A and B are shown apart, each in its own frame.
Chain A
Amino acid sequence: GIQVEQSPPDLILQEGANSTLRCNFSDSVNNLQWFHQNPWGQLINLFYIPSGTKQNGRLSATTVATERYSLLYISSSQTTDSGVYFCAVGLTGANSKLTFGKGITLSVRP
């Protein structure tokens, strides 16, 4: 099946710093989503971004489908950004089920 690799596995930031989270995947996809799982376990959809660039406040994401990677940018990080960030991809024509990476654990310190 499709492989999804996220890096780095862990990230510690000082409040106010910027960061880039990376997701590499092994096959063509028509569905790529970024999620934030907060410390209470709730998964929040950040972006649906199979290709191109999107921005939402301090967060932005870029997917280069032809090169099989996606980047999530967090600017001016806040303590509430802490948690686990998951990249998840879906194969073309596969009923939109998602394969998740192992996640990136982000800790933002005050």
Chain B
Amino acid sequence: DTGVSQDPRHKITKRGQNVTFRCDPISEHNRLYWYRQTLGQGPEFLTYFQNEAQLEKSRLLSDRFSAERPKGSFSTLEIQRTEQGDSAMYLCASSLGLGQRDAYGYTFGSGTRLTVV
């Protein structure tokens, strides 16, 4: 068990470019979450997968954002036409989840820091 891995660790991109981030969760975890954190704030929920199904998306996730989790394993988060306001730390977490109402502790990855210039 190598924990939750995120790639890349840092990304600098020009405004208007597309970027894609990858998250590899703990292998036995069926739930995967994306959060965004800006300086001085707590992480904010973006979206959530149970296996390969995307079950919830935050209103923070505009049409320029898309996330996938093919085959219920790794996940990607793509941002199209990046804006300076997208600059943030993008965090991925995974957890177990057996039923609809149960909940378990999260394990977070180290995050991808995005800077849009």
State the A residues within 8 Å of B (CB). 4, 30-31, 33, 35, 40-45, 47-48, 50, 86, 88, 90, 92-93, 95-103
With A95-B55, A98-B33, A98-B43 already in contact, 16 other A-B pairs whose C-beta atoms are closer than 8 Å: A33-B105, A41-B113, A42-B108, A43-B43, A43-B91, A45-B108, A48-B103, A48-B104, A90-B103, A93-B100, A96-B95, A96-B102, A97-B33, A97-B45, A102-B41, A103-B41
Contact with A along B100-117 (1 / 0, CB 8 A): 111111111011010000
B111 near A41 with CB under 8 A, answer yes
Interface residue B50 (Cβ < 8 Å from any Cβ of A):
yes
State the B residues within 8 Å of A (CB). 31, 33, 40-45, 48, 50, 55-56, 89, 91, 93, 95, 97, 100-108, 110-111, 113
Question: A103–B115 Cα gap in the complex (Å)?
Answer: 23
Question: A102–B37 Cα gap in the complex (Å)?
Answer: 11
Give the A-B contact count at a CB cut-off of 8 A. Answer: 68
Chain B residues with CB under 8 A of A101: 42
Chain A residues with CB under 8 A of B111: 41-42
Smallest CB separation, A70 vs chain B (Å): 14
> Considering residues B42, B95, B100, B110, which has the most beta carbons from chain A within 10 angstroms of its beta carbon?
B42
B45 near A99 with CB under 8 A, answer yes
Question: A99–B31 Cα gap in the complex (Å)?
Answer: 16
- Which are the 10 A-B pairs with shortest beta-carbon distances? A100-B42, A48-B105, A31-B103, A43-B108, A96-B103, A97-B45, A45-B105, A100-B43, A86-B42, A97-B48
Chain A residues with CB under 8 A of B43: 43, 86, 88, 98, 100
Provide a sorted-by-A list of 21 A–B residue pairs whose CB atoms are within 8 angstroms: A30-B101, A33-B105, A33-B106, A35-B106, A35-B108, A43-B43, A43-B108, A48-B103, A48-B104, A86-B43, A93-B101, A95-B48, A96-B31, A96-B48, A97-B48, A97-B56, A98-B45, A98-B106, A99-B45, A100-B43, A103-B42
